[in-house]
Amino acid sequence: MVGHVHLKVADLERAVRFYSEVLGFDVMQRMGTSAAFLGTGGYHHHIGLNTWESKDGPPPPPGCTGLFHVAFRYPDRSALAEALRRLQRHGIPLEGAADHGVSEALYLRDQDGNGIELYYDRPREEWPTDPDGSLAMFTRPLDLQALLLE
């Protein structure tokens, strides 16, 4: 099980605003002007942000190794719909939106180029399966208008 993710960022204040105001995380603790820890539901942190090795640095160039994206699971479809509304209010573009059968997901990047997936899992009894009972995930376009009606 993954406990949290810690991201290098160029501008701590900008990153804290994005993860709190746009994605809805709560600032739980700050370490001066070089690090912050954000979480939800009173948890000490799901995300650590720091500038220890990256202050004012550029995003990594395409074609390099590193984190593809970090995924944040929302408790239900209505919470994912509210996340989409916040993205739209803040003018944050999506790179993609997909229905995977087991989940619905929104894909974007933060200002430091970190890939982010926002998703919710459907109940297990709704997961698609093959005739032999094995999982049969897929990728189809997500109907954003239907999501916004949630």
**Which pLDDT does position 134 carry in this prediction?**
96
Token pair of 50, please?
A: 């720091």
Residue 36 has pLDDT above 80, yes or no: yes
Listed range (8-12, 38-42, 49-53, 60-64) with the worst mean pLDDT: 60-64
Whole-model pTM? 0.93
Residue 2 has pLDDT above 90, yes or no: no
Give per-residue pLDDT as tens, 81-136: 999 999 999 999 999 999 999 999 999 999 999 999 999 999 999 999 999 999 99
Q: What is the 3-state secondary structure (H, E, C) of 77-113?
A: HHHHHHHHHHHHHCCCCCCEEEECCCEEEEEEECCCC
Q: Which domains does the chain have, with CATH numbers?
A: 1-55 (3.10.180.10), 68-150 (3.10.180.10)
Give per-residue pLDDT as tens, 57-88: 999 888 999 889 999 999 999 999 999 999 99
Cα–Cα distance, 116 to 68 (Å, whole number): 8
The contacts of residue 24 (CB under 8 Å, 6+ apart) are 40, 82, 83, 86
